Amino acid sequence: MIEDLYNVKDKVAVVTGSSRGIGKQCALAFAEAGAKLVLNYVSNKEAAEITAEEIADLGSEAIVVQADVKDFEACQTLGEEAIKAYGQVDFLVNNAGINRDITFSRMSQEEWKEVIDTNLGALFNMSKAVVPHMRDAGSGVIVSISSIIGETGNIGQSNYAATKSGMYGFTRSLARELAKDNIRVNAVSPGFVETDMLHTVPPDLLAGIKEEIPLGRFGYADEVALAVLYLCSPAASWVTGTNMSINGGHNML
């Protein structure tokens, strides 16, 4: 029975920004659990194709689709490609995102808008692309990757924090709206995770951050991926409209 509750075999997951980091680990976790993947990248086709090869090695399959998630029409095409390949979309993981860290007094309108359009606009664009198909199927799950910064805010990240905090309002509103269609909508907020983005932070700042984490270490992308897999599985069938904080105790709500 427990095995059945975590079974996603032959389901189809669309994961944006899945060529590296948390997105890649989400894709690999779904593949290992038997799901088929629609991988998305904006510029690094080679990395996305490597992820697809790793998925094949796990005994599953994937297609690779280029799309800039801040482009509404590109997201529509991504959804259409998923349906063309597999005939269904069961899970959407909104993972693609960027940061343009700079203090508010120095931030340009372009630096504000680019982060808003990419991180928050993508939730609208991708949900519009897949929700009609989920409605037709009578079920679906959307999980958006937010951040501890959306919970706490941070100096030099007002644009990024606004998008990650905005995900909570979007998630709760959409969860209420789509519950009648048996579509669940949740968010996951990782703390500081060992990714390429983390290592753009100066080493002395990283050391200070680590000292603030009760569990004494940074997280790993696969730990976040397992939470996403849980939220998409039948085991989480009564979970919607929530935010799951995964941060080693760094921010205890």
8 Å CB contact between 6 and 30: no
Taken in order 26, 32, 36, 41, the sign of the CA dihedral is positive
With beta carbons less than 8 A apart as the criterion, state whether 195 and 21 touch.
yes
DSSP three-state, residue 206: helix
SS percent in the chain: helix, strand, coil, step 5: 50, 15, 30
112, burial (CB in 10 Å: exposed 0-12, middle 13-18, buried 19+): middle
Residue 185 parent element (H or E)? strand 183-190
Q: What is the dihedral of CA 52, 35, 168, 40, to 10 degrees?
A: 20
Considering the candidates 41, 160, 168, 230, report the single residue annotated as catalytic: 160
* Catalytic (active site) residue 160: yes
Residue among 164, 10, 44, 37 at smallest CA distance from 92? 37
The residues assigned a catalytic role are 160
